[in-house]
Structure 1
């Protein structure tokens, strides 16, 4: 299994990036690989219409460390853990998403990495405008 860190520097404070990224209502604005429509909050998880169908997302509790790790339960019932961090950077913040190949083909893995890079670019565009 291969892992790849996809990152993007954003000219905004780590706190601002974290607060924007963790807000469920903002997910469809920047996380196209995860949320295609409004997010429904149910108890301790989110119900999201994604490109994969309806998924359940559970983020780690809010924290002061910039950790946005989240589990995504797919329509198949399989759960994928996604490490996501907002780090301090000399130019603002750096967002780092760890993509794991798991049972994906090489092409699917490359597509996931491209989608995540595009999503991080969208996050940066929203926060830098």
Structure 2
């Protein structure tokens, strides 16, 4: 069995880690930066239900915390739960946002495409934080 690969995708945002964390943690901001969870975000208790490109998914974020942890589990339409590690950490130039992408059962090309999608989302987060609309 081939071990599952992981790739850490990151971006530095010229803002405080707290500012970036607060922006990214606000479900109302998800459509501005998280294309995979972008449409139809609605709250159902402590989870978010979103209309994603894969269909309706349920997202459960880590509770609010002072450590920049934005880990979230995504329950896919088929019931599979995907754990997504996401951190906002201090950086000399502001804040670094680090998303760990895991290959799971994806082909190498699908994994590369997934990582590229995360890079686009992090760039959108960068742009939204530094120039909010």
TM-score (norm 1): 0.97
What is the CA distance between 1:113 and its match in structure 2? Answer: 0.2
Q: CA RMSD of the aligned region, Å? A: 0.7
Among 91, 94, 103, the residue aligned to 2:93: 91
Structure 1 distance, partners of 2:86, 2:31, is 17
Among 7, 10, 13, the residue aligned to 1:10: 13
What is the CA distance between 1:34 and its match in structure 2? Answer: 2.3
Whether contact under 8 Å (1:70, 1:83) holds in the other structure is yes
Query: 2:24 is matched with which residue?
Result: 21
What is the CA distance between 1:127 and its match in structure 2? Answer: 1.1
Unpaired segments of 5 or more residues in structure 2? none
Q: What are the equivalent positions in structure 2 for 1:28-107 lying under 5 Å apart?
A: 28-35=31-38, 37-107=39-109
Among 113, 116, 125, the residue aligned to 1:114: 116
User: What count of residue pairs does the alignment treat as equivalent?
Assistant: 128
Unpaired segments of 5 or more residues in structure 1? none
Which whole-Å deviations, capped at 9, do the CAs of 1:89-117 have from their partners, x for residues lacking one? 00000000000000111111111100000
Structure 1 distance, partners of 2:86, 2:112, is 18
Query: 1:123 is matched with which residue?
Result: 125
- What SS does the aligned partner of 2:35 have? coil
